[in-house]
């Protein structure tokens, strides 16, 4: 059961609010192809939700480019940004859910991407005004799965983590939110994934979430 009067609601971004994971998949596929390697479900599952920095260290070994993880990170981000320039959309129900939550309680984004990327995506999908409080990899020493991003988000919102709600699309992100003490809603971006959470739904348009957010918003009227 989700709390009817949470202190705050903190959202992940990629694959949760914005349809960006599909863009990351294209960029990752291209990067692997340039190194003569296949990219499929196994590779995606290993990379999803992680920071670019942690992924690039692993890729440097995989691509036989030791010590070049920073260059690889730059290549990957440049590929993604070029794809995003062609357009990106909010996932179904995202704008409505965030708007309802923001009308009643403090809200924030906690992402494993950097600030320029987060700012660009939020602006592109029409969520920038609702989510001015943003925790990115530029703000923390330890990104997800460490709880630091969620603890910092709650601190900035003046919220008690144990009375707050997190929305995540990956087990890595959900584990960070759980460790921080938040109630976790899992909305997997990879089909067939089971996330360790308090409530798992297929999308942000799930009737349970819609009813909860409407009741939350009505409380502010």
Q: Taken in order 115, 200, 162, 8, is the CA torsion positive or negative?
A: positive
Reading the block at residue 138, the tokens are: 């530029």
Q: One of 12, 19, 146, 169 is an active-site residue; which one? A: 12
* 3-state secondary structure at position 108: strand
Q: What are phi and psi of 166, to 5 degrees?
A: -115, 145
Half-sphere exposure of 202 (CA within 13 A, CB side): 4
The verdict on whether 14 is a catalytic residue reads yes
> Which is nearest to 130 in space by CA: 106, 104, 102?
102
Gap between the Cα atoms of 39 and 31, Å rounded: 9
* From 14, 114, 138, 198, the catalytic residue: 14
Residues near 205 by beta carbon (within 8 Å), at least 6 away in sequence: 92, 93
Give catalytic residue positions. Answer: 12, 14
């Amino acid at each position: 059961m989700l709390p009817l009067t949470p202190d705050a609601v903190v959202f992940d971004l990629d694959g949760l609010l914005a349809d960006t994971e599909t863009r990351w998949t294209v960029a990752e596929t291209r990067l692997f192809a340039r190194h003569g390697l296949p990219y499929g479900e196994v590779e995606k599952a290993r990379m999803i939700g992680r920071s670019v920095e942690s992924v690039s260290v692993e890729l440097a070994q995989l691509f036989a480019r030791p010590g070049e993880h920073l260059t690889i990170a730059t290549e990957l981000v440049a590929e993604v940004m070029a794809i995003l320039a062609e357009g990106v959309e909010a996932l179904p129900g995202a704008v409505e859910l965030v708007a309802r939550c923001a009308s009643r309680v403090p809200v924030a984004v906690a992402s494993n991407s950097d600030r320029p990327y987060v700012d660009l995506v939020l602006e592109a999908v029409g969520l920038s005004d609702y989510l001015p409080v943003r925790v990115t990899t530029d703000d923390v020493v330890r990104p997800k799965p460490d709880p630091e991003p969620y603890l910092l988000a709650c601190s900035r919102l003046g919220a008690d983590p144990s009375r707050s709600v997190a929305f995540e699309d990956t087990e890595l992100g959900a584990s960070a939110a759980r460790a921080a003490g938040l109630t976790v809603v899992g909305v997997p971006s990879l089909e067939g994934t089971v996330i360790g959470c308090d409530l798992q739904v297929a999308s942000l348009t799930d009737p349970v979430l819609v009813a909860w957010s409407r009741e939350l918003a009505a409380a502010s009227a």
